[in-house]
Amino acid sequence: MSIALVITDRNAEKLRVLLQQRLPEVKIQLWPDISSPEEVTYAVMWKHPVDIWQQLPNIKVAQSLGAGVDHFTFDQAIPEHVILSRIVVDSLAQQMAEYVLGVMLMRQCRLTEFAEQQIQQRWKFQRRLQGKRVLVLGVGQIGDVVARQLQLNGFDVTGWSRTVQTDKNYPCIQGKQALYDALADCDYAVNLLPDTQATRLLIDREFLSACSQQTWLINVGRGNTINEEHLLEACRNGDISGATLDVFQQEPLPEKHPFWQQPNINITPHIAAITDQQEIIEQIADNYIAMTQEQAIKHKVDKSIGY
């Protein structure tokens, strides 16, 4: 048995070295330089090639390199027997909560506006924003931490989820009509949804039309959940107050993308939460050992729902 690192968007040599130090007895190889493809039973993947399942036919477990699994979700060629897993790191949720809270507090205190006034060397007194009603889309492991952090800071939180939630300290709603009703009465809509068949382009013209004009959209989930053309239209027309975006359909964001120049759209380069590499190594190693000992794989992906 051996491990293959099938990571196509970056140099994974450092990851291979660290993982080899953690599992010194295991053969670990970087794709595409796999000397014995038939020996590979465990693969760490990110943006894998479509024919990888033919190249490495004996994979038992495919481990995503990150929390996102959309590269698995939309791959119809994954063999039925392959177990899928994703990275779940507690520090990611806390970082995400800090990012979202930071965006909201900057808006509440109008810090961006005062920074602009400093450049102009002219103060224009403005009262703090009062609205604190927040709709959190997706209240799984990360979304729940975000929601609770916002609650602790005085925000009125409602969650929207695929299934009924009975263990939360805040109200949760389900269904598209309930979503649209809640959007009409919220000051912030925070998207933490995964990229699945059900969520792709969910935030479209209909969604944005349901928002009130004071709604500020924050996307720290997946770029493909937003129809970017419709969002730009809504921001330009004043249908919503604006948006803060950390993820996009194409990353890095193209130089000529209109988001760069839109005054009421704030963008950051996918930095809301940065995974600690050592935590990734430990989860990869733990799941590999679990596979070899025929134990349960942690953080399995439910193929039927896509996360």
Cα–Cα–Cα angle for 195, 137, 197, rounded to 5 degrees: 25
Determine the Cα–Cα distance for residues 234 and 102; give it in Å rounded to an integer: 23
Find the catalytic residue in 222, 230, 236, 299: 222
Alpha-carbon dihedral sign for residues 32, 36, 37, 39: negative
Q: Which amino acid is at 234?
A: A
3-state secondary structure (DSSP) of residue 197: coil
Indicate if 48 belongs to the active site. no
Could you confirm whether 133 is annotated as catalytic?
A: no
Rg of the chain on CA atoms, in Å = 21
Q: What is the dihedral sign for C-alpha 47, 53, 54, 58?
A: positive
Q: Which residue has the tokens 């953690």?
A: 22
Whole-Å CA distances, 253 to 48, 118, 143, 157, 257: 21, 29, 25, 31, 7
**Residue 196, both tokens:** 């699945």
Q: Among all residues, which ones are annotated catalytic?
A: 222, 270
